[in-house]
Structure 1
Amino acid sequence: MGTPEIALSVRSLVEYVYSSGSLESGFRSAAALAEGTRIHQHIQRQYKEGDSKEVYLKTEIPYEELIFRIDGRCDGLLTAGDGTVTVEEIKSTAGPVDQLAEGKEVHWAQALMYAYMLSLERGLPSVQIKLTYVQRGGEQQRSLYRTASAEELAEFAMQTVAGYVRYARLMVRHSAERDGSIRELAFPFPAYRQGQRHFAAAVYKSIAEGVNLFAQAPTGIGKTMSTLFPAVKALGEGKAGGLFYLTAKTVNRLAAQDALRLLLRSGLRLHAITITAKEKACFREEGLCSNDFCPFAEGYYDRVNAAVLDMLEHETLMTQETIAGYARKHEVCPFEFSLDAAYACDAVICDYNYIYDPRISLKRLAEERKRRTVLLVDEAHNLVDRGREMYSASLTKAPFLALQRRYKTANKGLSGAAKAVNGWFIALRKSCGEEGKGEWREYPEELPALLEAFALEAEQELVAPSSAPPEGEEEEAGLLDTYYAVLGVQRTFKTYDERYVTYAEVRGGDVYFKLFNLDPSHLLQQMGKGFRSQILFSATLTPLSYYREMIGAGEADYSLSVPSPFHPEQWQVSVIPVSTRYRDRGDSLLPLSDALKGMTERKGNYLVFFPSYAYLRSVFEVFTEKYPQVRTIVQSTGMKEHEREEFLAAFSPDNAETLLGFAVLGGIFAEGVDLPGDRLNGVMIVGVGLPQVGLEREILRQYFQEQGKNGFDYAYVYPGMCKVLQAGGRLIRSETDSGTIVLADDRFLRQPYMQLLPEEWSRYHRLM
């Protein structure tokens, strides 16, 4: 075996070794991302002939038993008339530049590493280093200078590598153990289910070839293991460098954790981590997230390296509970800690937005690693609506009026900027006319400049508050929330094209404005670009052509539809030809109640899904009054975690009496819930799941109609039937399961709904 090599960027190296101090408030990093590129370009435009920008440099540094391959792009190389070469590093800052009289150590370190690489490449005896700070949104600029000899730079480079070597050795040792364990790893079940081996082989082939796969595989086939196992095998064989298991809901993340836990018990050595949403991970119940208010943010960078090393040396599967334990031990923010640890892990389980949402995505994921990373996208049908949500942005008028008044005397600049945006909203309200709504293909040209002025004033206020808010943290949080919303709209302006529409609504006394993404396929494709392979899988990618189109499939991407491994006899499917349309729902209450009683005649556990809570409550009231002897439980809005667990726990296989659960289509119990065997004996689905008619759905229908598609199918039928199929998929989870499905709607007997039903449901019989 040759000398182990460690490949990393200059920035990754110096940030690991030299970062120190506290976590900065989130708004600072958001602003830095928005303005960093512009500031670099502004400085680089001042370069004279003979100067160079974005210069690629690389070197190898042997250190004991390791070789470090380091590369990166320095911002500028400046050449003086006497031949002196200066390395320039440009940094933006939210605060005044005179507060950075000495410069930050991590910034100097980055410039010094580039200077070292340049001195080697050109044989220079010394190099001048220039560190330039520019205040975001202002004209202030300050440059700091140092000169270092080649010997000093070489000593600095060795010291820097020495600060990284413990972590590097850990990763080298772990990689060898991981790959060895993967070679010996066997499929963790005695046999593959029917169709499961074919699915797993398609996943492996797609990863090996570096293409994407759109796979529809039935509920119960074991999709989680069918994707994880071949992806892990590809990782051990060097065909992939890491994997992300992406989900839309917590329950799917738990399933991925369980699958990895099973593989670990089978001998796998792997670093896997679950990223939990910030609000759930946070130790603080309230208050702003900054070092001024949180002891876990204060001094974070002084402790996080030790925390990461400690956890990686002792853990394999790092769940929310595991991360919280080490975060408390080392007194670091659990959320930021999980992100820092994720960059070191082989497998990351997280929400879609860490890859596809430009506001949240893991921006420090190196391009080289990204090219070797596989995305396993669970329940990929959710990406369509989630994509629209990620790439849309909205504002309301009320916060700007409140900020205009709040800062009238304390900060006239901010008050004036808020007043200008509020004035724009007043004009927008008038343009909405008597109907109180408007729709445009283009966004208003005057808005970006108004929002940019507001964002600059807001940032300055957040960095250096003009006065103590009378309501404490709540007032500052209001400014911060509005600032975030403005950044979101500014970001969306940059991607706005023919796949967007602008609309406004007058809602009560407020005005709502939205840049609405109609077709997320292009941006989903862009955000997924650069990864080795995306495996997009679900039980409900019907029709497959629609989901390929809406998620952004390329011509070379594979498609796979795995037949159900279960026998048609395991289902007893019935259709009740009752109208559940909104105007007919009053007449359907009694027939549905009677049908539910008929379904539950045989003792067992049953679920009925409704298109809305209001409809659910109406049928529930009629049913419980007429059939009080049947035990019932009801899903309610905003259920807490323990309430969800109690609801599912009620579906026990040894219940002494029949249980009927009332739930909503598309809700937390209609997707990703596993109730095998006698935990669930029957399901009734009321309605065809069509989304409620509203402004956005009608805009979508019109848009796709204009594109030559069936607008009603794209906006209503396909999303609705996806909910139906997900709910029905709760029933049969294994080869030994059996049960009843009742489809309550006359539209199930007609096209296009009939053709969207699974083959195994096609042998239905009609009731009534």
Structure 2
Amino acid sequence: MTNVVKISIRHLVEHVFRSGSIESGGFRSANPLTDGTKAHQKIQKTYKKDDQKEVYLKAEIPFENINIHVDGRCDGLLFQEDGSVIVDEIKSTSHALGTITEETYPVHWAQAVFYAYIYALDHELAAMTIQLTYMQVKTEEQKQFQRTMTLTELEDFVMEVVSEYANYAKAKTQHITDRNTCSKELVFPYGVYRDGQRKLAGSVYKTILDKKVLFAKASTGIGKTISTIFPAVKSIGEGNLQRIFYLTAKTITRTAAEEAFQLLIDNGLEMKVVTITAKDKICFQEETICTAEHCPFAEGYYDRINGAILDIFENESLMSRTVIEAYARKHRVCPFEFSLDLAYTADAVICDYNYIFDPRVSLKRLIEDQKKQAVLLVDEAHNLVDRAREMYSAVLFKSAFLQVQKEYKDINGAVAKAAKAVNVCLAEKRTQENIVEKQLDEDLAVLVEKFTAVAEEELVQTPESNQLLVDTYFAASTFAKICRLYDKRFVSYVEVDKNEVMMKLLCLDPSHLLQQMGKGFRSKVFFSATLTPADYYKNLLGGTKDDYVLSIPSPFVHENVEILVKPLSTRYRDREQTLLPMVQFILDALQKYEGNFIIFFPSYNYMNKAFEVFKTEAPDVKTIVQETGMSEELREDFLTAFKANANERIVGFAVLGGVFSEGVDLKGDRLSGVMVVGVGLPQIGFERDIIKDYFTNEGHNGFDYAYVYPGMNKVLQAGGRLIRSEDDQGTIVLIDDRFLQPKYQKLFPEEWRQYRVV
């Protein structure tokens, strides 16, 4: 049987010819695609009338038992008077052209040779001339190289490249055959579904089949992870999908996804699953400086990466952080870049939201055809609203540009001048009347673009530049990107503190940009236990009237959980006078109810004050307290302190909306009760009030959008830590008089409605 492999010419030659080292943190153009397009258009305008541009070419190349389908778009075909044809491959660069020789980029020659071979074959030409045209994007200076090759020479070259790629292609095609067969035959790993679980799994499958978007609220403990992954895997077996992206905001939920895939693999699934870990967490070096001089794992990375990919691909299924680190050390490659390269070959990718939705770090090599065959499974989707606002917002500080201006005055006049221009523009903001503007400051946007251009040139030519310029460049580059996204859903605002001026572009409504960044994927599934109210999340996550919406109640009997409401004010102005009565109530409740408890507070400050009083009143109770910036090891220590069937109870103090209020699974006797202090409202502040005013003007309840819904989401998530399985029982205590108001009670899940007022 002949297996078919489809690959673009560019990706094929990059696989075979990429070589050398990772160079520092991406000092490429802030807008490389536009620069490249401009360079192409500039050169293509010089073509003669009969010359052709952007010519689509494709071919089938048989090799042993595989048939490789290649395609690509040739930049130019230039027809000469003597009947010969020149293939023109255009490349733009921010480097000086003097640094580029005929031998600098073999991958560019290889790409052009493939185009020449296909064209010569299709048109029965005995020979072709290949031309590389380089343009310097700033100066528009050009440099050209030419080679003439016979059809035989072209064919020999192409077959040599294909043979280099063949080992990986064979492994990949065999894997896809095995994967599709076993995915189709795979059965649900638990034998029987919990109540509601089959409905969720069926809805996910139908969403993928129908190429739709699903918003699913499925109560805590239903088994959402396996109920979304399993139908996606079955869809691969049915030929409806090729790839799964499981997106999440927290390490703990990434682990749950890994465990679900591992369970399926243990049950016979053949699938390659990759977890992407943030660069600063997985980097082997003390300082994350991605240059050959500073890092042995960056030096020569591209010379070794193909061997590393083939090795791990042939020997591993679940490529978690520890597995990737082991192979990265074995092959001496950067573990972060290794995980990104693996993401393009894997069947399933577990990663943070930003790899899909953030325009600064997304997996940019995902072409449209791959997206059409992929599903996004967005876990804990309620978190995506505020995360997206962060992704699509940007900040500049005047002080950084002033410092660059001073430091580069005698080093690089152009950098100093550009920094000064931004500094002066920001300084003028101190005197403006309106600190909030609905319109983008176009003058500042232009100055920031100019600064990124000259700073980039300096960084490309002198990679050893100081950290100040690096940091300021990236801040400016991000700001410039967000300027290009700016529309009516943004505001700009200024904060002045003595000599410092902070300018922020604030994304108020991320729905449109989430829609744009998620465009092209076959299906998207947004799921959480707390997508309440549904319209709020659907609006802000880019939903449309055609999307599917699903709500599944808790599968567990309501009698397993007792809900208590203590009407005590925890408003900021009342906290001092209610602190002692609140702690006394907590102690009374702990005397009445046995087992381990976690008490969630709206802030660290409030939690610490309550803890001090608690320890004074009950010094013998064993406690553990969440701290700011806890390492993963300390987080693990916090959770392992909650033991089942322990002789001594433990009471945990934690923060609402923090790492322990979501995605934590303390089953059975490990957790007997949860207390939530306050309704979780974000702190009243400048930004939140801007968001409130925006949504009020849009015809919504602005206070609910900015404060109530995000706050109650934290409460519901914290309460959801308690009942995780059919056998779990316990008590949820809600401490705040506002829990008795209809506004908040409307947001209670069904199983909380039978509460008792204490």
Which band: TM-score by shorter chain?
over 0.9
Match of 2:559 among 569, 591, 609: 569
Tell me by how many angstroms 1:748 deviates. Answer: 0.9
The answer (yes or no) to whether the contact 1:88–1:130 under 8 Å persists in 2 is yes
Read off the aligned partner of 1:667 and give its amino acid letter: G
The answer (yes or no) to whether the contact 2:22–2:290 under 8 Å persists in 1 is no
Q: Distance in 1 between matches of 2:664 and 2:34?
A: 40
The answer (yes or no) to whether the contact 2:25–2:289 under 8 Å persists in 1 is no
Counterparts of 1:615-630 in structure 2, within 5 Å, are: 615-630=606-621
Counterparts of 1:436-455 in structure 2, within 5 Å, are: 438-455=435-452
Tell me by how many angstroms 1:50 deviates. Answer: 2.6
Q: In the alignment, does 2:41 pair up with 1:51?
A: no
Tell me by how many angstroms 1:21 deviates. Answer: 0.8
Counterparts of 1:382-401 in structure 2, within 5 Å, are: 382-401=383-402
SS of 1:662's partner is strand
Q: In the alignment, which residue of structure 2 is the partner of 1:765?
A: 756
Read off the aligned partner of 2:524 and give its amino acid letter: Q
Q: Distance in 1 between matches of 2:595 and 2:309?
A: 49
Q: In the alignment, which residue of structure 2 is the partner of 1:69?
A: 69
Q: Distance in 2 between matches of 1:439 and 1:34?
A: 31
SS of 1:736's partner is coil
Deviations 1:323-375 (A, max 9, x none): 11111111111111111111111111110111111111111113212110111
Counterparts of 1:275-674 in structure 2, within 5 Å, are: 275-431=276-432, 438-465=435-462, 476-601=466-591, 602-674=593-665
Q: Distance in 1 between matches of 2:574 and 2:113?
A: 74
Q: Distance in 2 between matches of 1:282 and 1:616?
A: 34
Match of 1:709 among 700, 703, 706: 700
TM-score, scaled relative to structure 2: 0.97
Q: Distance in 2 between matches of 1:173 and 1:418?
A: 55
Tell me by how many angstroms 1:45 deviates. Answer: 3.5
SS of 1:756's partner is coil
Q: In the alignment, does 2:220 pair up with 1:219?
A: yes
Q: Distance in 2 between matches of 1:489 and 1:82?
A: 52
SS of 1:494's partner is helix
Read off the aligned partner of 2:92 and give its amino acid letter: S
The answer (yes or no) to whether the contact 2:283–2:336 under 8 Å persists in 1 is yes
SS of 2:405's partner is helix
Q: Distance in 2 between matches of 1:46 and 1:489?
A: 35
Tell me by how many angstroms 1:412 deviates. Answer: 1.2
Q: Distance in 2 between matches of 1:563 and 1:299?
A: 54
Report the aligned-residue RMSD: 1.5
The answer (yes or no) to whether the contact 1:599–1:682 under 8 Å persists in 2 is no
Residue 388 and residue 48 in structure 1: after superposition, are their counterparts in 2 closer, same or farther (change >3 A)?
A: farther
SS of 1:753's partner is helix
SS of 2:311's partner is helix
Tell me by how many angstroms 1:39 deviates. Answer: 2.6
Tell me by how many angstroms 1:191 deviates. Answer: 1.5
Q: In the alignment, which residue of structure 2 is the partner of 1:179?
A: 180
Tell me by how many angstroms 1:33 deviates. Answer: 4.4
Counterparts of 1:179-258 in structure 2, within 5 Å, are: 179-258=180-259
Tell me by how many angstroms 1:34 deviates. Answer: 5.8
Residue 447 and residue 76 in structure 1: after superposition, are their counterparts in 2 closer, same or farther (change >3 A)?
A: farther
Q: Distance in 2 between matches of 1:375 and 1:449?
A: 36
Q: In the alignment, which residue of structure 2 is the partner of 1:139?
A: 140
Read off the aligned partner of 2:757 and give its amino acid letter: R
Q: Distance in 2 between matches of 1:223 and 1:625?
A: 42
Q: Distance in 2 between matches of 1:598 and 1:576?
A: 12
SS of 1:129's partner is strand
Tell me by how many angstroms 1:121 deviates. Answer: 2.6
Residue 283 and residue 701 in structure 1: after superposition, are their counterparts in 2 closer, same or farther (change >3 A)?
A: same
Counterparts of 1:684-699 in structure 2, within 5 Å, are: 684-699=675-690
Tell me by how many angstroms 1:29 deviates. Answer: 4.0
The answer (yes or no) to whether the contact 1:308–1:341 under 8 Å persists in 2 is yes
Read off the aligned partner of 1:16 and give its amino acid letter: H
Deviations 1:149-174 (A, max 9, x none): 22222222111111110000001111
SS of 1:446's partner is helix
SS of 2:290's partner is coil
Tell me by how many angstroms 1:550 deviates. Answer: 0.6
Match of 2:730 among 704, 727, 739: 739
Q: In the alignment, which residue of structure 1 is the partner of 2:3?
A: 4
Runs of 4+ in 1 over 4 A off after TM superposition: none
Deviations 1:644-681 (A, max 9, x none): 11111111112222211111000000011111111111
The answer (yes or no) to whether the contact 1:215–1:536 under 8 Å persists in 2 is yes
Read off the aligned partner of 1:573 and give its amino acid letter: I
Q: Distance in 1 between matches of 2:435 and 2:217?
A: 39
Read off the aligned partner of 1:28 and give its amino acid letter: F
Q: Distance in 2 between matches of 1:327 and 1:765?
A: 56
Which moved further from structure 2: 605-614 or 509-518?
509-518
Residue 34 and residue 255 in structure 1: after superposition, are their counterparts in 2 closer, same or farther (change >3 A)?
A: farther
The answer (yes or no) to whether the contact 1:288–1:477 under 8 Å persists in 2 is no
Read off the aligned partner of 2:672 and give its amino acid letter: N
Read off the aligned partner of 2:501 and give its amino acid letter: V
Q: Distance in 2 between matches of 1:47 and 1:449?
A: 32
Read off the aligned partner of 1:35 and give its amino acid letter: D
The answer (yes or no) to whether the contact 1:505–1:511 under 8 Å persists in 2 is yes
SS of 1:186's partner is coil
Count of residues paired in the alignment = 755
Q: In the alignment, does 2:740 pair up with 1:749?
A: yes
Q: In the alignment, which residue of structure 1 is the partner of 2:12?
A: 13
Q: In the alignment, which residue of structure 2 is the partner of 1:99?
A: 99
Q: Distance in 2 between matches of 1:185 and 1:334?
A: 32
The answer (yes or no) to whether the contact 2:672–2:730 under 8 Å persists in 1 is yes
The answer (yes or no) to whether the contact 1:57–1:72 under 8 Å persists in 2 is yes
Q: In the alignment, which residue of structure 2 is the partner of 1:78?
A: 78
Q: In the alignment, which residue of structure 2 is the partner of 1:719?
A: 710
Which moved further from structure 2: 512-521 or 40-49?
40-49
The answer (yes or no) to whether the contact 1:188–1:262 under 8 Å persists in 2 is yes
Q: Distance in 2 between matches of 1:62 and 1:21?
A: 30
Q: In the alignment, which residue of structure 1 is the partner of 2:41?
A: 41
Residue 287 and residue 174 in structure 1: after superposition, are their counterparts in 2 closer, same or farther (change >3 A)?
A: closer
Q: Distance in 2 between matches of 1:597 and 1:428?
A: 53
Tell me by how many angstroms 1:607 deviates. Answer: 0.6
Q: Distance in 1 between matches of 2:660 and 2:493?
A: 33
SS of 2:707's partner is helix
Read off the aligned partner of 2:93 and give its amino acid letter: T
Tell me by how many angstroms 1:35 deviates. Answer: 2.8
Residue 375 and residue 30 in structure 1: after superposition, are their counterparts in 2 closer, same or farther (change >3 A)?
A: farther
Q: Distance in 2 between matches of 1:366 and 1:24?
A: 24
The answer (yes or no) to whether the contact 2:418–2:451 under 8 Å persists in 1 is yes
TM-score, scaled relative to structure 1: 0.96
Which consecutive residues of structure 1, in runs of 5 or more, have no partner in the other structure? 467-472
Deviations 1:502-538 (A, max 9, x none): 1111135421111111111111111111111111100
Tell me by how many angstroms 1:632 deviates. Answer: 1.4
Tell me by how many angstroms 1:386 deviates. Answer: 1.1
Tell me by how many angstroms 1:545 deviates. Answer: 1.0
SS of 2:568's partner is coil
Residue 517 and residue 52 in structure 1: after superposition, are their counterparts in 2 closer, same or farther (change >3 A)?
A: farther
Which consecutive residues of structure 2, in runs of 5 or more, have no partner in the other structure? none
Q: Distance in 2 between matches of 1:327 and 1:663?
A: 36
Q: Distance in 1 between matches of 2:371 and 2:728?
A: 41
